[in-house]
Structure formats: C-alpha cells, structure tokens
A and B are shown apart, each in its own frame.
Chain A
Amino acid sequence: MKKLIHLIIIFISLGLCLIGASKPSIKKVYVKTLKNGHYQLMVNNRPFIIKGICYSPIGIGKGYDYDFWSDPCQPWKKDGALMKKMGINTVRFYQPGENFESVKTVVRDLYKLYGVRTMMGHWLEFWNYPAPFYDDPEFRKKVKEKVIIMVNALKDEEGILAWVLGNENNFSFSGKINPWSSDRIDKLGDARQCMLARAESYYTLVNEVSQEIHKIDPNHPVVMGNGELICLDVANQKAPDVDIIGCVIYRGKTFGNIFKSLKATFDKPLIFIEFGSDAYNAYEKNEDEDSQAEFLESQWAEIYKNLAAGLSALSKNNPDGVGNCLGGTMFEWNDEWWKHQESNGNGWSIQDTESNWSNGAYYFDIKAERNMNMNEEWFGLIKLLEEKDKSVCTKTNAATCLEGIDKRVPRKAYYVIREFWKRPHEIKKNSGKKK
C-alpha cells in the first residue's frame, strides 16, 4: 500500500513537473482599484510602476522597412543591458514584426536577460493604403483578425505586459490627418457631426477588439492608444471594455490637468504611451541635451505625483494627486535618422535638423522659423554614432553579424531620469539647474 502511495505521489509530482516545464507560468497582469479610487497596475500580485520607453531600434541608414526583430546582431541585447542599468522596466513596441518567432525571441531576451517587459502595440491598420476605413464591416473584420493573430501568438510570453491598440488614430476624426470616411458619415454633412460619427465608429471597433482579446487572453490588460484626450467622451460611451487609456501627450514640461480631465471624462487608469522632448534646439540650431533632460524630469515628477498614493512619496504627499497614473513610456530609446523624410532612402543616413511639426509647449525653440521646432529624428535618450560597435558580434552570430550596430551614447536625460527613478523628487520652478 505504501509503495502504491509512493508511486502515486511520484506520478503526480512528475505530472506537475511536466506541466510546469512545458509552459512557463503566466502571471496575471491587471489593474487594481484601491479603496480611495486610485489605480495600481499589478504584476505577479505586486504593484508595478511602468518606467518605460518606446523602442524602435532602427539604425543609421535603415528605414521603415528594416526588420530589427530578425537582425542577427540583436541590437536589443546591447540596448537591454543599457536599459537595465538605467532602471527601465518596460518597452513599448508599436507593432510586432511579421515573424512571430523572432518577436518572441526579442520579448523573451529583454525579459529574461534584463527584466524588461513588453507592451505590444498594434496600429489597427491605421496606415493601411488607401485609408483605414473603420466604418467598413469588412475592414473592421480584417483589423480584428490581425490583432487576434498577434495576441494568440504572443500571449504566453512571460515578458508581455499589455496590449496597446492604436496610437494617435483619433487625430484622423477631424479629417485633417490620414482622412477616412464612409457614405454614411459623409451624408451627415456637418463637420462636427462627421467627426463624432468617425469617433463612434472607431471606438466601437476598439471595444470589440478588446472584448475579443479578453476572451482569449485574460492575463494582460488592453490599453487604448489615444492622441491627447480628444474624443474620449465618445470613448467613454463606446469603449467601456478597454482597461487602460494610453495617451500620447506632448504638452511640454507639464501634463497640465490631464489626470483630472481623464478622471472626469473617462475614468480609467492612465499610461502615457508617448511623451518626452526632442534634444535639438531648432532656434539655436544645435543639440540641446539640457532641455530634453529638464523636460523629461519634470514630466516624470508629474507622473509620480499622480501614481496611486501608496506607490511613491511624491504621490503620497500630493493632496491634488489623482492617483490614476500607472507610469509611462517615453518617446524614445534611440534617435531614428530615417523619420524626417521617411520615403527618401537617401536621407536615412543623415540626421535631419529640419523640423516636421510645431509645438509651442516646447518653448525653448519655438522661435524657430515658422515655429517649426519639433525634430522627429532627435527624440532619443540614446544618440547613435556612425561608428560601429562590434562587441555585439559574438561567436554564435559571427557569420551573420558582420558590421555590428551603431555605437550608442546615452544623453544627459538617460542619467537624469536614472537618478530621478532612484530618488523621485519634486522639481522646483526656476531651480536654475538647466546648465
């Protein structure tokens, strides 16, 4: 009898071991609502502040068509090590590569080697040509299918933290950016009515996609990407099933009243999925690491002041704190030299200093000609040098990684934010700390 019991125990243990070995256990990531109404992101049942960065390691001379996921030089390993040193715990990808096996390798390496988790995004076919016809049933079906394929492929990766649907797709509602419409919407005639109809159509789709994700992956929350807070009042009605609002915000040093506004408009937890400052002064026409660092530090101080009260002394001591922020992913890890004129391959090897857009909140260079002060190719916390770093060429990839990767040089902001995360602190006005 004893032998039988022993055998049963051995079999059960073996079975459990086999189950454990075949699949890594996925720990649930979820948002906890505290008694005071504050929100807290929980990972493995522990509070988690997203100290993140948008990650798109497109090197010098490469463009939008470069598949970094399968680069034999594995730039994410060099970057992951630097990220770990800085204290980054999350990267945000805008869209996975086509080969999910390569994507899994990157997600796994970043997590296993450096403890960096992944917020995986999907454009929701926003850059579809000729236009993202979100009001068309066939197009909506296609969008859903693509997202579900991504979720199914990656949901069991331990490094996955959340799904991010869309980016600033809502800026298209006005018809000024990447315009799309339908006969139904056009018949409304009035510009505002058309805008609201587009918003309803899009947010309904996001909600449907969220519901589908929840069915197949209850372990990871769904973040809805949104430019500013535009049309979130509509989303409040049409997209109740998203878990978190991911805002793309470029308001300069401060996020202003966004925490309270979101609470009043659409009471969901908030992640800043893009924010930051460029490191180029378009007025003085030179690199400006000081302003970038100063702006980012100030932005992080606001994030910390609006975390759930127990997560930081800054939020605890902030009577005006809303407690709805979960963290953010700065824009961005490295400079991307291809972005200014993305379709002109000749420009990918030159770091353009011509600005693409204007934003008065970045006052340090708003006096640039035509107020064009935002330099898309200069947002990196890491600048790239044309000099190659061959330390990434190892015995295992020697045959395929021949040139190495562009040398990485951390900017001032890398150190300033590293220090901030170590000792979060208030930013005093006119501290005179700039230079």
Chain B
Amino acid sequence: MKKTILLFSFLVCFAILPIFSFAKEESGASVSATIDLQKVSNEYFSKNDYDGFYDSVKAFLKKNKKSASGYYYLALARMSQIAYWQKSKDWEGVYDKADNYKKDITENLKIAQKYIKNDPVLFCDIKFLQWQSARLDASEDLLELFQDFLASLKELAPSTENLDKIKKRGDELSSLEDKSMARRIYEIYVEKITGSSLSKDEVKAKGQEFLEAGNVYLAKALFENYLSQLKGDEDLQAKETVLIADKFIHTGFKEGVDPVYAEALYVQAADKNKTVFDSDSLYRRAYNLERLKEFKSAYDLYKDLIARFSDTALLNEINFRLGVLSAYALKDIDTASAYFLKISEDAAKGPHTLSALYQLGLLNQWKEEKERAKGFYQALLEAAQAVGVDMTKNELVLMAQERLKEIEDAKDIKHGLKIFLDGVLKTDKEPNLSFVVDLTAHPAKAFSNEAVKLIVTTSNPQTGCMMPSYSYEWSGEVGSMSNIPNSPELTTSYAEPGVKVTHVAVIGAQGLDGVGFEITQIESK
C-alpha cells in the first residue's frame, strides 16, 4: 500500500511539474528573465558588444517566446548600439545604419507591451525606451510618448527601489541636458517622496543631501516642499525660508549655488515677516544683491541694515560699501562723501579709515577741490602711521602719496584713473559710453596674499566675428601686480586686509567706451 501511495505521489508530482513550470513561464517569466537578462546585458554592454547581446536574447526568446522582457531587451540592445555610435561620434552608424535598428526597436517594444503582465517596472522601461526611440527622429508623437512615460512612473509604488529608479531616470535626462524633462521626473520623485513616510525634517534633510550632491533642482523642490509643510506658522516659515535662502547665496568666497533664487526666497520671507532678518541675514542678503550687481537694491538694504542695527560690528565696512556704491554706481558724490566722512570720523582707526580717506581725497581731487583733497590724503598718511602700516608698501599710502604729488605739481590725476572718474561721474556732458562694462573679482572675498582674478566683460557692439581692439586702463587698488597688463584680465593678490576698490576704463578706436568698478574684500588668515 505504501508503495502504491509513493508511486501515486511520484506520478502526480511528475504530472503537475510541467503545469507549475508553465505557470512560471506565463506569469513569472518576465520577472525572472528581467533579472537574468539585465545581468547578461551588463556583461555584453561593458564590452560594447550590442549585437552579441542581441543574438543571445534572440536565442533566449526561442525558448521563452512570450517573454515581454526578452523583447524589451532586444530593443534595448539596438538602442544601446545607437547610443554608443552617438557617444563615439560614429556618425555613419547613426545616420546610415541606424534606420533599420529603429524599426527593430519599435517592433520589439510593441511585442513586449503585448506580452507584459503586472510588471509596472518593466512597463516604465518600455515606455522610456519608446520615448527615447522617438527622440531619435524627433517624431510627431514625442510629447505624447513622454507623457505616457511619466504616467507609468506615477503608477509605481513609493518603495525605496522605485524612488531610486525614478531619480535615476531624472538624473539621466538631466545629464543629457534635457533639464525641463528631467524636472518633470523630479516632480514625480518629490510627489512620491512626500507621499511616503518621510517626516518634514527628513524631507528637509533629503533636500540638503541633494544640494550637497549638486542636484540643485531636486534640492529646491524638496526645500520648497518642506516650507509648504510649515504653512500655518508664518513666523517659522519665514525664519526657515531665510535659512534655506542662505544656502544659495553668493558668499564672496564662493560663487552662489543660485543667488537669484536666494533673493526670491528672501523676498518671500520678507513678505511674511520683515523682522525675521537679523543683522547677519540682512548683510548676507545685501551682499548677495551686490554680487548680482543689483547695486541700488543692495544699497537700500545696507542702508536699512545700519538703520535697524546701528551697533553692528560691520558698521564701517557697510558704510564704506554704501560710499562706494553711492559714488560709482549711483553717481552721487555728496552722499558717498557723507558715508566716507562717517568712517573717517570714527575714533577707532582701521583699514576702512584709510580706504575712506583715500576715496574722500580722490573725489575732491576730481572735483578740483585740491586743498580739501590734500587734507584727506595727509590725514590718510597720519592715520596710516598711527595704525602702524608699512609706509613703504601699503597700497593706499602709496596711492595717496602719488595723488599728493599730482596736486603739488599741479598735474591732472593720472590718465587711467581720470578717464574712469570722468566716465563715471561727469554729469554736465553725458559721456558717450557705447557699452556696459562689468568688472568682477573671482573670488570677491579672499584671504591675504591669495590670488584674485579680476575679469572685464563688456556688452559688445555689433561687429560680427571681428572684435574691436580695446585698451584696458586699470586703476585703483590693483594689489601686488606691478606691471599692469593691457588686458581684460588681471590676476593679483592683496597683502593687507580691507575692502579694495578697483576700476577699469575700456577704450576703443573712438575713445572711452565704458567703465567698471569692483569691490573686493580681503580678510586676514
């Protein structure tokens, strides 16, 4: 009896085994095949053997005739071959051989879609490949196919694995410079992530993580999502908005991640609560605007800062910036002089005192008020001695001495400096400047003796591929560079701390074409 039962059991097992196998082929084939084929594809693709992989998949499909993933991988092999031709700039491949491959991709994806069952991940991959294939010919239904792909992504469950997959697709498009399309995918990623179990602080942390990884778009999206979750507590929202804006500003030492975006966030915060800014954050915002060359807005904020926080430790520095912006950006000598005077009258003498006295001397000398100018230059020399600077090397001291000599010898201010001042300050007869000059220091804040590169950029007149020849007259604080080149670039360094003001005048065949200035801050190490 036992034997009979055993034999029966054995026969039953044998009988149902094919049924199980068949069931696996029908329902689970695509899953198991995906894993295997992916592994095999990696091996072939690493050797750029796309045809070899294609043949292997063909062999696999002989035994797995209804494998959706098999057909998907056939299409992928063809697409990868075309991508490889593109990458290796094999244009004959792309433009002479690829047409048949494209047809093959279309056909295989159609079959894959016919056989697919309950596999949303593979479905996404198919949709992605369909869209990629359409991109090759910029076909009519491109947008529709991209929408289909996005819809397939939306169907994915918010598991960690799927989130990674979505992000990977976004990164892929971002690296291909399809930024706007990458953003659509990142939007889905953000939707999924917020639909997951992450707390708002975790969302913020994730934003920080992406910011550090250089994925600015995703970082912004997550930060904004975090801020939106603070709705209801306007003060906290304003405070956090300022803190997030701070992450994107131009600090001077480093170019900002997105200074314009930072300012937009500051505006949002100010709309909610103006008092959310303390003196430090007001300074950061004003400085960010200064770096954006939004001089009037920067000026207004610096002014607001000292009005609200008159005891700020940065008072002299801010007054100096206000003075420089008044003179060279807003062309208001009287207001500039008032700021410089405030600094010079401060009992505590420092680098800003010398800078302010030099500017006072210079503005007066340019106005032909030579006795007043002389007084400021002499005051500078006295103050320099008092604070103990090296009278033989300090740039401001040397420049003041040079200006004093000009006054004593009844000479004009030296040529390069004079044409800059004329270009900026002359109001009686508007100078006929033909273009805007931008002078920018890289970095704008540096430590003593570190290299600073000053670069002139101009808006050019229409001259096609023929660039006019220009002379570049540099003046002001040019640092350690002794032989100033006639060039739109100047690399220098500054030994002593302080806020340095450098000027440039750009001269073309018809005379002065434009002027620019830059404020560089040097700090002690």
Contact = CB atoms under 8 A, between A and B. Distances in A.
A80 B432 CA distance: 50
Interface in B450-476: 455-457, 460-468
B461 A174 contact: yes
Contacts of B464: 168, 171, 227-228, 248, 250, 357
A411 B90 CA distance: 9
B366 to A, nearest CB: 26
A253 B86 CA distance: 22
A177 B466 contact: yes
A376 B465 contact: yes
Contact of A356 (B176, B467, B509): B467
A23 interface: no
Contact of B462 (A171, A427, A430, A435): A171
A412 B468 CA distance: 32
B52 interface: no
Contacts of A434: 176-178
B171 to A, nearest CB: 14
A431 B142 contact: yes
Interface in A147-192: 168, 171, 174-179, 191
A171 B466 contact: yes
Interface string B30-51: 0000000000000000000000
Interface in A176-226: 176-179, 191
Nearest to B440: A370
A435 B176 contact: yes
A176 B508 contact: yes
Contacts of B22: none
A93 to B, nearest CB: 18
Interface in B59-98: 86, 89, 91-92, 94-96
A433 B135 contact: yes
Interface stretch (A60-68, A94-102, A302-310, A413-421): A413-421
A17 to B, nearest CB: 45
Given A412-B91, A414-B91, A370 B510 contact: no
Contacts of A432: 135, 138, 142, 146, 176, 178, 181
B488 interface: yes
A54 to B, nearest CB: 12
B254 to A, nearest CB: 17
Contacts of A416: 95
Interface in A383-425: 410-412, 414-416, 418-419
Contacts of B523: none
Contact of A230 (B92, B138, B177, B462): B462
Contacts of B457: 370-371
Given A168-B466, A228-B462, A430 B180 contact: yes
Contact of B509 (A175, A412, A430, A431): A175
A430 B488 CA distance: 36
Given A369-B455, A370-B457, A227 B463 contact: yes
B191 interface: no
Nearest to A428: B138
Interface in B223-254: none
Most buried by B among A356, A371, A411, A419: A371
Contacts of B508: 176
Given A369-B455, A410-B91, A435 B86 contact: yes
Contacts of A427: 138
A312 interface: no
Contacts of B176: 432, 434-435
Nearest to A418: B95
Contact of B510 (A176, A178, A250, A433): A176
Contacts of A414: 91
B489 interface: yes
Nearest to A411: B91
Nearest to A430: B180
A244 interface: no
Interface string A360-375: 0000000001110010
A384 to B, nearest CB: 15
Contact of A178 (B456, B460, B466, B489): B466
A250 B91 contact: no
A371 B455 CA distance: 10
Contacts of A411: 91
A193 to B, nearest CB: 13
Contacts of B91: 410-412, 414-415
Contacts of A412: 89, 91, 94
Interface string B484-525: 000011000000000000000000111000000000000000
A358 interface: yes
A179 B91 CA distance: 44
Contacts of A418: 95
A412 B508 CA distance: 39
A370 B510 CA distance: 22
Given A228-B464, A358-B460, A415-B91, A370 B455 contact: yes
A171 B463 CA distance: 6
Contacts of B461: 174, 176
A125 interface: no
A431 B95 contact: no
B509 A357 contact: no
A289 interface: yes
B31 to A, nearest CB: 31
A289 B508 CA distance: 35
Contacts of A415: 91-92, 94-96
Nearest to A376: B465
A211 to B, nearest CB: 27
B456 A227 contact: no
B89 A289 contact: yes
Contacts of A168: 463-466
Given A370-B457, A433-B135, A177 B468 contact: yes
Interface string B201-223: 00000000000000000000000
Interface in A219-260: 227-228, 230, 248, 250
A171 B465 CA distance: 10
Nearest to B136: A433
Contacts of A178: 466
Give the residue among A176, A250, A414 with the most B Cβ atoms within 10 A.
A176
Contacts of A191: 432, 510
B460 to A, nearest CB: 6
Contact of A175 (B92, B94, B467, B510): B510
Nearest to B177: A434
A198 to B, nearest CB: 12
B491 to A, nearest CB: 12
A427 to B, nearest CB: 8
Counting chain A CB atoms within 10 Å of each CB, the highest count among B142, B180, B467 belongs to B467
A369 B508 CA distance: 21
A344 B489 CA distance: 22
A171 B468 CA distance: 10
B273 to A, nearest CB: 35
B142 A357 contact: no
B467 A357 contact: yes
Given A370-B455, A370-B457, A370-B489, A433 B468 contact: no
A369 B138 CA distance: 33
A328 to B, nearest CB: 15
13 contacts: A168-B463, A174-B461, A358-B460, A370-B488, A370-B489, A371-B457, A411-B91, A412-B89, A416-B95, A428-B142, A434-B177, A435-B86, A435-B176
Closest 9 CB pairs of A and B: A415-B95, A431-B138, A176-B468, A227-B464, A357-B467, A415-B91, A433-B138, A168-B464, A171-B463
Interface of A: 168, 171, 174-179, 191, 227-228, 230, 248, 250, 289, 356-358, 369-371, 374, 376, 410-412, 414-416, 418-419, 427-428, 430-435
Given A176-B508, A228-B462, A357-B464, 11 more contacts: A175-B509, A176-B509, A191-B432, A357-B465, A369-B455, A415-B92, A428-B142, A432-B135, A432-B181, A433-B138, A435-B86
